[in-house]
């Protein structure tokens, strides 16, 4: 049984199309079709149900796919382990990272990370909508919030609060809110994820929780846009302090109502399964833990000083 045949079977299952899988693996559709037939003959079973319009897995194909993924991942882990023992990390790593965190923090950190591993190649997916690990061929994702899928492996990186902010220019024109009740008098900037608009903001103070439904004239499906609008003086924004770190440190944004803690958010490094936890993923995890926790600590100290001036 050829390893390439197993790899092709997995790609056909993911693509739902032999021609598309063949193109990705740089072989002809005829060769791909022959490889699937060869595999089915060796297994003495049909892996796909074929019609003129579709291609889908049989029950036996679905069962076999699970073991194929595991076998290919184990082989990749073995190769990575050998490369790691030799002091070499190579291959291709596909990463999915949220918009703000990706653009403003992760990309510069990744550049430095790659200097240490010049043989490693990365494919970076930026966006706030959660990518499909299998459909988009994602090896690892950096996301806020622990995933609900128990099959996924989630490594905690750091925990931070959301912070309420506005630009000095906005505050000079519209005033500084001194209570949660006054937030409804201000233009608030939203982002929309998975068809949910984040227009209910949660705070904590002295063990008490508060929820405020706010309004505004701008909403985007990219949280980075909400941050840019806030820097441009268009309204108030409520986001992870990590996402706003550079703006808060530079003074482009000012934290508001510091006596109220924003809703806490946890940042995770997520793999689709334990078999995807490769040496390079573990190295990436340690780098991100060190970077995010150091930045969170520095940011907390800076905000504590600046809060005295508000």
Which residues, in sequence order, are CB contacts of 246 under 8 Å at separation 6+?
104, 252
User: What is the DSSP track for 222-287?
Assistant: SHHHHHHHHHTTS-BEEEETTTTHHHHHHTSSEE--TTSEEPEEEEEEEESSGGG--HHHHHHHHH
User: If you average pLDDT over residues 297-310, what whole number do you get?
Assistant: 65
User: If you average pLDDT over residues 197-207, what whole number do you get?
Assistant: 88
- pLDDT value at position 81? 59
Encode pLDDT of 1-37 as tens digits: 678 889 899 989 888 889 888 988 889 999 999 999 9
- pLDDT value at position 309? 43
User: If you average pLDDT over residues 229-233, what whole number do you get?
Assistant: 97
Which residues, in sequence order, are CB contacts of 251 under 8 Å at separation 6+?
168
Q: What is the distance in angstroms between the CA of the first residue and the CA of the last residue of the chain?
A: 69
| Whether pLDDT at 86 is above 70 | no
| Whether pLDDT at 79 is above 80 | no
Encode pLDDT of 126-149 as tens digits: 876 665 677 778 889 998 888 888
Separation between Cα atoms, residue 229 and residue 247, nearest integer Å: 12
- pLDDT value at position 169? 96
Separation between Cα atoms, residue 301 and residue 86, nearest integer Å: 41
Q: In degrees rounded to 5, what are phi and psi of residue 271?
A: -115, 150
Please, what is the average pLDDT of the chain?
A: 86
Separation between Cα atoms, residue 231 and residue 40, nearest integer Å: 59
């Amino acid at each position: 049984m050829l390893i390439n045949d197993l790899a092709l079977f997995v790609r056909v299952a993911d693509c739902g199309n032999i021609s598309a899988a063949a193109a990705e693996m740089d072989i002809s559709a005829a060769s791909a079709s022959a490889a699937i037939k060869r595999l089915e003959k060796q297994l003495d079973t049909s892996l796909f149900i074929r019609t003129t319009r579709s291609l889908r897995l049989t029950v036996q194909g679905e069962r076999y796919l699970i073991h194929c993924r595991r076998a290919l991942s184990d082989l990749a882990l073995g190769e990575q382990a050998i490369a790691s023992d030799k002091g070499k990390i190579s291959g291709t790593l596909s990463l999915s990272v949220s918009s703000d965190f990706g653009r403003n923090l992760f990309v510069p950190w990744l550049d430095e990370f790659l200097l240490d591993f010049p043989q490693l190649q990365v494919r970076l997916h930026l966006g706030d909508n959660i990518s499909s690990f299998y459909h988009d061929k994602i090896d690892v994702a950096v996301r806020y919030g622990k995933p609900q899928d128990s099959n996924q492996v989630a490594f905690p990186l750091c925990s931070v609060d959301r912070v309420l902010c506005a630009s000095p220019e906005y505050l000079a024109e519209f005033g500084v809110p001194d209570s949660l009740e006054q937030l409804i008098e201000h233009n608030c900037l939203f982002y929309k994820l998975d068809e949910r608009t984040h227009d209910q903001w949660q705070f904590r103070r002295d063990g008490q929780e508060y929820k405020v439904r706010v309004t505004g004239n701008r909403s985007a499906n990219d949280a980075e846009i909400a941050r840019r609008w806030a820097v441009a003086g268009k309204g108030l924004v409520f986001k992870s302090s990590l996402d706003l770190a550079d703006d808060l440190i530079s003074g482009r944004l000012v934290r508001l109502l510091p006596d109220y803690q924003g809703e806490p958010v946890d940042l995770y490094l997520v793999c689709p399964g334990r078999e995807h936890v490769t040496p390079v993923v573990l190295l990436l995890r340690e780098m991100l833990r060190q970077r995010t926790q150091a930045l969170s600590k520095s940011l907390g100290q800076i905000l504590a000083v600046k809060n005295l001036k508000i």
